Amino acid sequence: MDGGVQRGAMTAPSTGTSYWRSWVDFWFAAADPSTMGFIRIVTGLLVVYTHLCYSYDLHSFFGKDGWYDLRTADRERHESPTRFPSLWKWEWNDRAQSAVVPEEPHRRKAVLDWMRALPRDKTELRKKLRLLDHGGAMTTRGEGNGYGDTTIHAGAAYLFNLGPDPKVRAGTLAALVDKSQRDNKEQFPQSLDLILDSERKSLATDLEGLASTLPGTMTTGIDERRYIANYLFEIDTDQRYNLLKFLWNLPDLPANEAAREEQIEYLGYWNYEKRYADRVGTSTFSLWFHITDPTEMAFAHAFVLVVMVMFTLGLFTRVTSVLTWFAAASYLHRNQQILFGQDTMMNILLIYLMVANSGATFSLDRLIDRYRAARASLRRSGSIDAVAQRYLEAAPLSPSCGFAQRMLQVHFCFIYLASGLSKLKGVGWWNHNAYWDTLANPEFTMIHYGWYQEMVRMMATSRPVYAAMAAGGVYFTLFTEIALPFLVWTRRRPYILMFGFALHLGIGVFMGLLVFSLFMMTMLVSFLPGAMIRAQFSGPRPVQRTVFRFNSRSGPQSRAAAIIAAADLTGAVDCVDVSGTDATVIQPVKWSAPGRPDAIGNEAAAAAFRSVGALMPLWPLTFVPGLGGKLKVLLAGT
């Protein structure tokens, strides 16, 4: 297993070891950085790919006049209301105090215009809205006084039937008060017709007051009146009380007209009263809040891509990891409409890679450190001593990598457990339809490919095959997601990890969520020991070794030897100092490879570029006129 990280997770505390020490070692033991280094490379490639795709529609996604324009984004981050949940109450409603308006835009506009046209005078306003106030009983929240809820609902529902003409309304309401004035066609809701005679006149007055606030004439505003009447009928008693509080507290003086309009407009935009928000706005930052010019956006985006490539290669990783996370968050903060499951997993990985020293291995930073160690050893002793050799063979254990890797493992377990348990709340997972719904979903799957259609049809035409596939897929998914957080800490880790990789391979193939699946597989890699990952890249040390002879009294030759020692990732080259054999003349460097004639000077440099691991990607550059000569001189030590 992976040193201290795996030891703390896989075994019980030994005799004489305190549980506290085991707990501390579980989280903070130093670990082989190879695991986090490999995760950095894979994550970096996926991050670069994701943000490279934004290049084609950069302005549509993040521009000033994009799909989610800057004005809307600015308003959200400056004005959006937030209510914090109650610490003590289970039954908590974040809208319990605020007035609400209809969700449909056309209905909401009608209600807001009605609010704007209401009388400014408080006394007159209360008189007009007395019906909604239960005949005045709701002002003090009294019980058993005024109109009942049934009467209020019936009255609100009857508002539209009263019509906009005051004379017609007067005749209709007179018939409500005095039944003798009714003709055979006069119809009233039963709840209104059954109220006490002593209340009829008051109810008619309140109905007239509320009806007079509705907009329109006999030929205009018909829909608006209906929308408002339906709104007043549909809201419950608490919502009606919240509406009255909002209307009564609106500023009424002419000098405060702007403040009044601001409160109504805020309610109309957010469907929430600003005064009840625990926090207004969000603490988010994005480059694209401030960079809006198309040319500047192109340069900034190109710079971000360069930083992300540097992070992937492991160059200045401690800095580029922070910049990469910051840049990725900037894209998501600017336009959360692009936020998807893969973006969440990407952000999680970037946070832990930022915490860990993820550039400690499999990186350009590691090559630079190897060069410095080799150069220091050559200065000390003229050769690669034992201390430097151990450093070159493997990167030191890293406490930050151990902590970040453990946090990533535990975080992944919570993600899986929450995902698996939440599926148990869905009926589709109990009747096995969830698997079929996934396979046949045209939004994600490859249903437009003929071979895939034939596979799905074949499955659907055979009841036994369908039942077996549907049940098997459901049980496999549930078992993997619920069991992995527990079995992954036991000796069954290899098997449950294979289940996890297979699950996300299926998600990637059959649902088309390729990048999401790759991010999830990358998180699964955190459970693999670093030694195993490092072994896949280093390979066995060769039996017959190549010898690079140099003179430590020559600064350029010592530098060339340090470069070769740093770039020799498999330990296939021995750097031998020949300064003691000839004290007067400094000979050119010599490259002696098994089965090949010795190469001297520039030929030795060319042979090194062809053979040494980290130098091989630069070998084609040696054929570039001008540049190739300078590269050979660097390793020839001349």
Compute how many other C-beta atoms are within 10 angstroms of the C-beta atom of residue 606: 20
Over residues 124-148, the mean pLDDT reads 65
Secondary structure element (H or E) that encloses residue 444, with its range:
none
Does 381 reside within a domain?
Answer: no
Over residues 432-440, the mean pLDDT reads 85
Same domain, 212 and 148: yes
Q: What is the pLDDT of residues 223-240, one digit of tens each?
A: 888 898 888 888 888 888
Does 499 reside within a domain?
Answer: yes
Q: Report phi then psi at 196, rounded to 5.
A: -60, 145
pLDDT of residue 292: 94
pLDDT of residue 196: 65
Supply the DSSP string of 568-586, one letter for each residue: -TT--EEEEE-TTT-SS--
Of 13-27, 37-51, 62-76, 406-420, the least confident? 13-27
DSSP 17: -
Q: What is the pLDDT of residues 262-316, one digit of tens each?
A: 999 999 999 999 998 889 998 889 999 999 999 999 999 999 999 999 999 999 9
Over residues 131-137, the mean pLDDT reads 68
Q: What is the pLDDT of residues 357-411, one digit of tens each?
A: 999 999 999 999 999 999 999 888 888 888 888 998 889 999 999 999 999 999 9
Residue 240's nearest CA partner among 160, 146, 177 is 146
Domain region containing 29: 1-52+288-360+395-538
Over residues 137-148, the mean pLDDT reads 49
pLDDT of residue 10: 40
Over residues 607-632, the mean pLDDT reads 87
Percent of the chain predicted with pLDDT > 70: 87
Residue 53 has pLDDT above 50, yes or no: yes
Residue 507 has pLDDT above 50, yes or no: yes
The whole-angstrom separation of Cα 196 and Cα 297 is: 72
Q: What is the pLDDT of residues 444-470, one digit of tens each?
A: 777 788 888 888 888 888 888 888 888
Question: Angle at the Cα of 492 (from 490 to 498), degrees rounded to 5?
Answer: 130
Structure tokens at 500: 């996890």
Question: Angle at the Cα of 429 (from 426 to 432), degrees rounded to 5?
Answer: 145
Of 232, 256, 280, the domain-final residue: 280
Does 349 reside within a domain?
Answer: yes
CA distances from 247 to 132, 156, 227, 238, 251 (A): 12, 17, 18, 14, 9
The whole-angstrom separation of Cα 158 and Cα 152 is: 10
CA distances from 45 to 55, 294, 308, 350, 408 (A): 16, 26, 9, 12, 19
Does 87 reside within a domain?
Answer: no
Over residues 53-62, the mean pLDDT reads 93
Q: Which residues contact 623 (CB under 8 A, 6 or more apart)?
A: none
Same domain, 112 and 174: yes
- Asked whether 431 and 424 are in contact (CB, 8 A), the reply is no
pLDDT of residue 3: 40
The whole-angstrom separation of Cα 356 and Cα 400 is: 5
Tokens 């998807």 belong to residue: 340
| Structure confidence at residue 219 as a pLDDT band (50, 70, 90) | low
Q: What is the pLDDT of residues 67-90, one digit of tens each?
A: 999 999 999 999 999 888 777 766
CA distances from 625 to 231, 560, 601, 614, 630 (A): 79, 21, 18, 22, 9
pLDDT of residue 465: 86
The whole-angstrom separation of Cα 272 and Cα 379 is: 71
The whole-angstrom separation of Cα 408 and Cα 523 is: 7
Over residues 505-533, the mean pLDDT reads 92
Does 517 reside within a domain?
Answer: yes
Residue type (1 letter), 376? A
Same domain, 132 and 27: no
Of 46-50, 107-111, 123-127, the least confident? 123-127
The whole-angstrom separation of Cα 610 and Cα 625 is: 18
pLDDT of residue 280: 92
Of 117-131, 152-166, 263-277, 322-336, the least confident? 152-166
Of 478, 512, 538, the domain-final residue: 538
Over residues 315-341, the mean pLDDT reads 94
pLDDT of residue 8: 38
pLDDT of residue 135: 56
Q: What is the rounded average pLDDT for all residues in the chain?
A: 85
DSSP 620: G
- Asked whether 38 and 525 are in contact (CB, 8 A), the reply is yes
- Asked whether 92 and 263 are in contact (CB, 8 A), the reply is no
Structure tokens at 555: 């600064």
Same domain, 452 and 586: no
The whole-angstrom separation of Cα 338 and Cα 334 is: 9
Over residues 518-544, the mean pLDDT reads 87
Same domain, 530 and 545: no
Same domain, 570 and 438: no
Over residues 147-167, the mean pLDDT reads 72
| Structure confidence at residue 141 as a pLDDT band (50, 70, 90) | very low
pLDDT of residue 185: 57
Same domain, 611 and 629: yes
Residues of 87-112 as b/e, b for ≥16 C-beta within 10 angstroms? eeeeeeebeebbbbbbeeeebbebbb
User: Could you give the number of structural domains in the chain?
Assistant: 3
Same domain, 234 and 349: no
Does 322 reside within a domain?
Answer: yes
CA distances from 192 to 100, 103, 182, 313, 440 (A): 27, 29, 14, 78, 54
pLDDT of residue 594: 84
Look at strands 279-280 and 546-550 and give their pairing: unpaired
Percent of the chain predicted with pLDDT > 90: 44
Look at strands 573-577 and 546-550 and give their pairing: parallel
Q: What is the pTM of this model?
A: 0.84
- Asked whether 35 and 526 are in contact (CB, 8 A), the reply is yes
Secondary structure element (H or E) that encloses residue 599, with its range:
strand 599-600
Does 156 reside within a domain?
Answer: yes
Alpha helices in 335-398 (DSSP H): 341-355, 364-381, 386-393
Does 276 reside within a domain?
Answer: yes
Same domain, 352 and 470: yes
* Length of the chain (residues): 638
CA distances from 373 to 16, 322, 362, 389, 547 (A): 39, 26, 16, 9, 19
Of 493, 523, 538, the domain-final residue: 538
Supply the DSSP string of 170-205, one letter for each residue: HHHHHHHH-GGG--TT----HHHHTS-HHHHHHHHH
Same domain, 336 and 428: yes
Same domain, 3 and 131: no
Same domain, 324 and 427: yes
